[in-house]
């Protein structure tokens, strides 16, 4: 009898919407190794990434997504990578894969999508995903970093900021699906072109920036790019037993949701992933 009660209770939990920090979440079981975990993720947030093979970095990314409640759709798995060598410029292939995936959302500005890299990214926090984005009062928010790459000559065109996180990084952004699709369809890019330069030029176009209220995450509220910023970060273990361990940006006071080991900071990401 008790087994039946447990099964009925579990079925109910997995079929209802849960409330987490004021967000509607769907609850489901996800296999992890030989066991399963119950995860929650917002019904109106879809996370996209690109990976053509299941590297250790990708598997770490997926584990963190399951742990912190992100519904990830992977694009390009098993396909030939046509975006050049990522140690240099390239990555336009990611843009084109995302454009294709978003076509069903044409005109849909109810669904919010997040895009992140995968091999050098991990999720860190489950709280207030949508609330943090909506606080920007923006249609599209890009992650920001301390260094400008690949075209440093564009530095004078960036708006003045209160923090050192001044420049766009394409490894993470979030926005309304219909708006992002509209931007990508109006501005084509070749697979071998550089994705960060592509998004940078879109952001620096004042007409587009104002039309879509594009913002950069200057305080690392959602996205934390680690390169040249390790001195800003500390691992907060003060409430590890009750709330878990989380990363804190001591300069901005924010606790980012997504960590990106961009550039030469991948070893730092590996270190942080041990917590």
pTM of the model: 0.89
CATH number of 44-215: 3.90.550
Q: Tell whether omega for the bond before 196 is within 30 degrees of 0, i.e. cis.
A: no
Phi, psi of 81 (to 5 degrees): -75, 125
- Residue closest to 219 by CA, chosen among 150, 158, 161, 151: 161
Tokens read off for 139 = 């249609």
Task: Write the pLDDT tens digit of every residue in 147-197.
Answer: 999 999 999 999 999 999 999 999 999 999 999 999 999 999 999 999 999
Please give the average pLDDT of every successive group of 10 residues along the chain, which has 275 residues.
38 40 68 65 91 98 94 97 88 99 97 98 89 97 98 98 98 98 97 98 98 99 98 89 86 97 96 86
Residue-range domain boundaries for the chain: 1-41, 44-215
Q: What is the pLDDT of residue 230?
A: 97
CB 189, CB 195: distance < 8 Å: yes
């Amino acid at each position: 009898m008790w087994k039946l009660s447990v099964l009925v209770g579990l079925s109910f939990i997995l079929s209802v919407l849960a409330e987490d920090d004021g967000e509607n979440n769907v609850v489901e079981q996800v296999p992890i190794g030989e066991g399963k975990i119950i995860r929650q993720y917002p019904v109106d947030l879809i996370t996209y990434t690109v990976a053509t093979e299941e590297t250790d970095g990708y598997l770490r990314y997926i584990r963190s997504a399951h742990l912190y409640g992100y519904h990830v759709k992977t694009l390009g798995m098993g396909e030939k990578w046509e975006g050049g060598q990522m140690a240099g410029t390239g990555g336009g292939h990611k843009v084109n894969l995302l454009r294709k995936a978003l076509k069903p959302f044409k005109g849909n500005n109810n669904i919010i999508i997040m895009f992140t890299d995968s091999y050098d990214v991990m999720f860190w926090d489950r709280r207030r995903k949508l609330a943090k984005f909506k606080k920007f009062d923006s249609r599209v928010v890009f992650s920001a970093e301390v260094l400008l790459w690949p075209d440093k000559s564009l530095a004078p065109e960036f708006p003045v900021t209160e923090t050192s996180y001044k420049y766009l990084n394409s490894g993470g952004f979030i926005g309304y699906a219909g708006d992002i699709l509209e931007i990508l369809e109006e501005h084509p890019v070749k697979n071998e072109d550089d994705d960060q330069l592509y998004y940078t030029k879109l952001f620096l176009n004042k007409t587009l920036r104002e039309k879509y209220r594009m913002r950069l995450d200057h305080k690392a509220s959602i996205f934390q790019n680690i390169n040249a910023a390790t001195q800003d970060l500390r691992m907060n273990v003060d409430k590890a037993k009750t709330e878990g361990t989380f990363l804190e940006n001591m300069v901005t006071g924010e606790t980012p949701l997504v960590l990106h080991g961009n550039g030469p900071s991948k070893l730092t990401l590996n270190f942080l992933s041990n917590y």
